[in-house]
């Protein structure tokens, strides 16, 4: 996508105006400014907005950033400007206010909207104009900022839904503010911006893109459906969590998934001999273990006579991101005993939260998925795939398989939701423990809760992203599964009645 952006917003460096801007700032600041401008101009193509104004505003947004507080105070004095409380309490905002002054008086940018976009580009504010939104987002998402995969997603979303994109961005900003003890007065302004947008956003009809914490329990109907699915599909194994058949689901072409070929479950490390025998009687021929090598080393699957075992980690190393950073900080704030408990319970927190969104951007994950689909196509007999609890990584493979077989999304979501029934008591007891142990970091507690809960929105939005953002629509399933036409046909003939 950045290729597209680059081709798009070529900044002409010979422009005299730009040369003048360059004299106000360091090389790295100038680089940042060009990055912001490029993204802003790119985004403005998707909206009815004055593109020249967007360009000028972006170029000027950090014009005061390299000045000292004294220099900025002098400029305020020179133009008779009263510095606002927000900058008095939070110096990092001062360059935004002074930047607007310089833009107006020294660059002749008189447009009120543009000046506001500069003034509010750091902390945002409620009821932002389109131009303010574009500048705010571009500043926070330009190509030199860390965590590019996430930012690229936000820019991609912003092409059609800038409010959603900014909501996501504001969450990151607010988490940063809270964990860095930014004054409450400042946090409140950004939080108001978030609440204002959220209210607006909830009026729109975006079923795939609500944030998980608003949806962290299933509705009664969804629970009923999940109970029914478990009643029909559960495989009773005392020592294996969440074991069940994937069967009987209808595809869009009217075919059904065959009975007796596909099992999804949690880890097999406590499997008893009798249970291993029982799995043998089901015709089990292959176990695909989606856990990382470290998890496998800690709790290896019991081997089952005559059954092939393949460890194909779905997720290995994940980029350091804001979430990792916050999680680490949170961990550091805990006592040693509590920390050990968290590490044990939530070793995979980052994977869970990011996996659904990022899996198709991670080449190694895609590679794993392609290998798994090859095994699914080529291995005879019953195949069992599992991770630890059989919810998330297992859920992703199940979802992709069901998509490839042509199932409607509503069946895919019900299959995922069934984990809510099987893991219910475990989830609730961890939540209770979390309530006792968690010490006040609400946003992280929420994140941790999301990671252990069954949240249909997580899967829904994951599917939506995989389908719409990372793959060209028509070829999505080929790219995601690594199957060509003929192989997909093989897969369907193998697993469908
Ligand atoms: Fe700035
Ligand atoms: Fe900036």
pLDDT in tens, 120-148: 999 999 999 999 999 999 999 988 888 77
Which alpha helices (H) appear in 255-313, and where do they start and end?
273-281, 293-298
Q: Taking Cα atoms as reference points, which of 433, 89, 412, 474 lies closest to residue 251? A: 412
Which ligand has the shortest distance to the CA of 36?
2
Ligand 1 geometric centre to CA of 62 (Å): 5
Residue identified by tokens 């025998």 is 277
Confidence band of 220 (pLDDT split at 50, 70, 90): low
Which ligand has the shortest distance to the CA of 93?
1
DSSP 61: T
Ligand 1 geometric centre to CA of 159 (Å): 22
Ligand 1 geometric centre to CA of 123 (Å): 10
Ligand 2 geometric centre to CA of 56 (Å): 14
DSSP 65: T
More confident of the two residues 201 and 186: 186
| Whole-number average pLDDT of the chain | 79
56 Cα distance to chain centroid: 32
pLDDT for 221 equals: 72
Ligand 1 geometric centre to CA of 29 (Å): 9
Report the C-alpha gap between 492 and 295 in whole angstroms: 32
Ligand 2 geometric centre to CA of 140 (Å): 7
Q: Does residue 334 surpass a pLDDT of 90? A: no
Confidence band of 216 (pLDDT split at 50, 70, 90): very low
Half-sphere exposure of 185 (CA within 13 A, CB side): 9
pLDDT for 346 equals: 42
* Pair of tokens at residue 200: 């607006």
Question: Between the CA atoms of 26, 31, 36 and 39, what dihedral angle is there, to the nearest 10 degrees?
Answer: 170
Ligand 2 geometric centre to CA of 190 (Å): 17
Which ligand has the shortest distance to the CA of 135?
2
Ligand 2 geometric centre to CA of 60 (Å): 9
Determine contact, residues 312/384, Cβ cutoff 8 Å: no
241 Cα distance to chain centroid: 26
Determine contact, residues 177/204, Cβ cutoff 8 Å: no
Percent of the chain with pLDDT over 90: 40
Determine contact, residues 450/259, Cβ cutoff 8 Å: no
The total number of residues shown for the chain amounts to 497
pLDDT for 232 equals: 83
Ligand 2 geometric centre to CA of 439 (Å): 34
Which ligand has the shortest distance to the CA of 145?
2
Ligand 1 geometric centre to CA of 33 (Å): 9
Ligand 2 geometric centre to CA of 356 (Å): 30
Give the count of beta carbons closer than 10 Å to the beta carbon of residue 278: 16
Ligand 1 geometric centre to CA of 296 (Å): 46
Report the C-alpha gap between 443 and 453 in whole angstroms: 15
| Helix, strand, coil content of the chain in percent (nearest 5) | 65, 5, 30
Report the C-alpha gap between 474 and 49 in whole angstroms: 31
pLDDT for 152 equals: 80
Which ligand has the shortest distance to the CA of 59?
2
Ligand 1 geometric centre to CA of 24 (Å): 13
User: Averaged over 326-354, what is the pLDDT?
Assistant: 47
Ligand 1 geometric centre to CA of 138 (Å): 11
Which ligand has the shortest distance to the CA of 95?
1
Ligand 1 geometric centre to CA of 97 (Å): 10
Ligand 2 geometric centre to CA of 357 (Å): 26
Write out the residues surrounding ion ligand 1, Cβ under 5 A: 62
pLDDT for 150 equals: 75
Which ligand has the shortest distance to the CA of 139?
2
Report the C-alpha gap between 384 and 241 in whole angstroms: 13
Ligand 2 geometric centre to CA of 63 (Å): 9
Q: Taking Cα atoms as reference points, which of 147, 251, 240, 213 lies closest to residue 446? A: 213
Ligand 2 geometric centre to CA of 62 (Å): 5
Give whichever of 100-104, 322-326, 341-345 has the largest mean pLDDT: 100-104
Q: How many angstroms separate the Cα of 119 from the Cα of each of 57, 65, 104, 221, 255?
A: 11, 12, 11, 48, 59
* Pair of tokens at residue 359: 């899996």
Ligand 1 geometric centre to CA of 268 (Å): 52
Which ligand has the shortest distance to the CA of 140?
2
Using DSSP, state whether 250 is helix, strand or coil. Answer: strand
Which domains, from first to last, does the chain contain?
A: 2-205 (1.10.3210.10), 213-495 (3.90.190.10)
Percent of the chain with pLDDT over 70: 72
Ligand 1 geometric centre to CA of 209 (Å): 29
Question: Bridge partners of 250?
Answer: 256
Q: Does residue 207 surpass a pLDDT of 50? A: no
Report the C-alpha gap between 411 and 247 in whole angstroms: 11
Give the count of beta carbons closer than 10 Å to the beta carbon of residue 450: 20
Q: Does residue 493 surpass a pLDDT of 50? A: yes
Ligand 2 geometric centre to CA of 426 (Å): 45
Which ligand has the shortest distance to the CA of 32?
2
Ligand 1 geometric centre to CA of 316 (Å): 35
Confidence band of 286 (pLDDT split at 50, 70, 90): very high
Report the C-alpha gap between 351 and 451 in whole angstroms: 9
Determine contact, residues 69/89, Cβ cutoff 8 Å: no
Using DSSP, state whether 489 is helix, strand or coil. Answer: helix
* Pair of tokens at residue 493: 């003939």
Ligand 1 geometric centre to CA of 302 (Å): 56
Ligand 2 geometric centre to CA of 145 (Å): 10
Q: Does residue 343 surpass a pLDDT of 60? A: no
Which ligand has the shortest distance to the CA of 58?
2
Ligand 2 geometric centre to CA of 93 (Å): 11
Report the C-alpha gap between 331 and 339 in whole angstroms: 6
Using DSSP, state whether 288 is helix, strand or coil. Answer: strand
Q: Can you spell out the DSSP letters for 358-413?
A: HGGG-HHHHHHHHHHHHHHHH--SEEEEE-SSSSSHHHHHHHHHHHHHTB-HHHHH
Ligand 2 geometric centre to CA of 59 (Å): 9
Which pLDDT tens digit goes with each residue over 224-250? 777 778 888 888 888 998 899 999 988
Which ligand has the shortest distance to the CA of 64?
1
pLDDT for 78 equals: 96
């Amino acid at each position: 996508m950045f290729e597209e952006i680059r081709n798009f917003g070529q900044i002409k460096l010979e422009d005299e105006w730009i040369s003048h801007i360059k004299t106000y700032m360091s090389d790295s600041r100038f680089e940042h400014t060009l990055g912001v401008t490029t993204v802003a101009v790119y985004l403005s193509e998707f909206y009815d907005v004055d593109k020249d104004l967007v360009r000028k505003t972006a170029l000027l947004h950090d014009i005061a950033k390299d000045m000292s507080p004294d220099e900025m105070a002098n400029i305020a004095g020179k133009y008779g400007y009263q510095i606002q409380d927000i900058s008095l309490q939070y110096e990092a905002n001062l360059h935004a206010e002074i930047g607007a002054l310089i833009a107006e008086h020294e660059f002749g940018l008189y447009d009120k909207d543009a000046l506001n976009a500069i003034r509010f580009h750091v902390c945002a504010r409620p009821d932002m104009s389109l131009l303010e939104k574009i500048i705010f987002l571009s500043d926070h998402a330009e190509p030199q900022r860390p965590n590019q995969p996430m930012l690229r997603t936000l820019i991609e979303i912003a092409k059609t839904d800038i409010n959603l994109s900014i909501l996501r961005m504001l969450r990151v900003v607010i988490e940063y503010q809270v964990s860095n003890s930014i004054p409450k007065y400042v946090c409140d302004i950004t939080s108001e911006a978030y609440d204002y947008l959220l209210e607006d956003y909830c009026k729109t009809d975006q079923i795939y893109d609500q944030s998980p914490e608003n949806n962290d329990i299933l509705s009664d109907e969804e629970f009923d459906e999940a109970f029914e699915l478990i009643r029909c599909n559960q495989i009773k194994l005392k020592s294996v969590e969440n074991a069940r058949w994937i069967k009987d689901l209808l595809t869009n072409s009217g075919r059904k998934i065959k009975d007796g070929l596909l099992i999804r479950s949690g880890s097999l490390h406590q499997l008893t001999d009798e249970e291993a025998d029982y799995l043998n009687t089901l015709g089990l021929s292959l176990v695909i273990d989606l856990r990382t090598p470290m998890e496998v080393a800690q709790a290896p699957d019991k081997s089952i006579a005559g059954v092939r075992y393949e460890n194909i980690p779905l997720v290995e190393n994940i980029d350091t991101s804001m979430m990792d950073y916050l999680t680490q900080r949170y961990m550091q704030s805990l006592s040693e005993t509590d920390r050990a408990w968290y590490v044990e319970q939530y070793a995979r927190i980052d994977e869970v939260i990011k996996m659904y969104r990022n899996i198709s951007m991670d080449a190694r994950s895609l590679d794993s998925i392609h290998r798994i689909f090859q095994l699914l196509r080529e291995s005879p007999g019953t195949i069992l795939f599992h991770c630890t609890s059989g919810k998330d990584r297992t859920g992703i493979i199940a979802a992709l398989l069901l998509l490839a077989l042509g199932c409607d999304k509503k069946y895919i979501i019900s299959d995922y939701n069934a984990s809510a029934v099987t893991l219910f008591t475990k989830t609730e007891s961890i939540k209770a423990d979390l309530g006792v142990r968690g010490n006040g970091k609400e946003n992280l507690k929420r994140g941790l809760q999301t990671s252990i809960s069954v949240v249909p929105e997580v899967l829904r939005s994951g599917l939506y992203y995989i389908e719409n953002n990372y793959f060209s629509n028509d070829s999505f399933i080929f790219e995601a599964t690594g199957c060509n036409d003929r192989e997909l046909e093989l897969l369907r003939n193998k697993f469908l009645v």
